[in-house]
Copies of this chain bind each other. A is one copy, B any other.
Amino acid sequence: MQISSSSFHNAVDQLSSLPGIGKKTALRLVLHLLNKNGKEIHDFGAAFTDLAEHINYCKNCFYISETETCSICSNENRSENIICVVETALDVIAIENTNQYKGKYHVLGGIISPMEGIGPSDIKVNELIERVKSQGTEELIMALSTTMEGDATNFYIYKKLKDLNIKVSTIARGIGIGDELEYTDELTLGRSILNRIPFENTLTL
């Protein structure tokens, strides 16, 4: 590549630093941007310098917010008594899109993973425990991934809260709605049999 422009290479490098975007794709994307006029390219960049300046996290639940407390935490129609614990802001968005949950959230910002050197102090676990204690939360819904790390995090939080008489639940794991039994993996199918629910409960949905 013989382009004598450091700003061009810099832009390509920055884009290819994003996950899933290789050098060649980044090159194509930057050339696409260059087809736009100067103001549009500038606006593209400004969106991110702006983000760097203004982005903040809710001091309560660590969800993304420009204000001190996020729109979910400051929404009085949502129950204070129930907190859904998730890994990232993406999970909050996914759960919000279901329109099935009317409590608050707590974004851990990661899960405990000894293999990657991520301990409880690296994520917002202690903040969660403090919050639960001071707020008098009644129920905690653990909505982490079903991986070894997710299970470890669930267990860590469960143990920390054991003496506090707080109900800790995890979201249901089972066969997806519309999925066929024969294509479901054994682990999920096995769990869905172990965690079977009374038929009457499904009628109320």
Q: Which residues of A are interface residues toward B (Cβ below 8 A)?
A: 1-8, 10-11, 13-14, 17-21, 25, 27-34, 38-39, 41-56, 63-67, 70-72, 88-90, 93, 96-97
With both chains docked as a complex, state the minimum distance between the C-beta of A55 and any C-beta of chain B, in angstroms.
6
Query: Closest B-chain residue to A66, C-beta based?
Result: B5
What are the 7 tightest A-B residue pairs by CB atom distance, in nearest-first order? A45-B48, A45-B49, A41-B52, A42-B52, A4-B71, A5-B66, A14-B47
With known contacts A4-B71, A27-B93, A41–B51 Cβ distance under 8 A: yes
**Number of copies of this chain in the oligomer?**
2
Query: Closest B-chain residue to A35, C-beta based?
Result: B109
A7 contacts B90, CB within 8 Å? Answer: no
Give Cα A88–Cα B3 distance, bound, in whole angstroms: 13
With known contacts A18-B32, A31-B89, A41-B51, A66–B10 Cβ distance under 8 A: no
- 10 pairs from A and B in contact (CB 8 Å cutoff): A1-B96, A4-B65, A5-B54, A7-B66, A8-B55, A10-B51, A18-B32, A33-B51, A45-B50, A46-B49
With both chains docked as a complex, state the minimum distance between the C-beta of A121 and any C-beta of chain B, in angstroms.
17
B90 contacts A27, CB within 8 Å? Answer: yes
From A32, A47, A96, name the one whose CB has the most chain B CB atoms within 10 angstroms: A47
B66 contacts A31, CB within 8 Å? Answer: no
A53 contacts B47, CB within 8 Å? Answer: no
Chain B residues, CB < 8 A from A1: 93, 96-97
B29 contacts A18, CB within 8 Å? Answer: yes
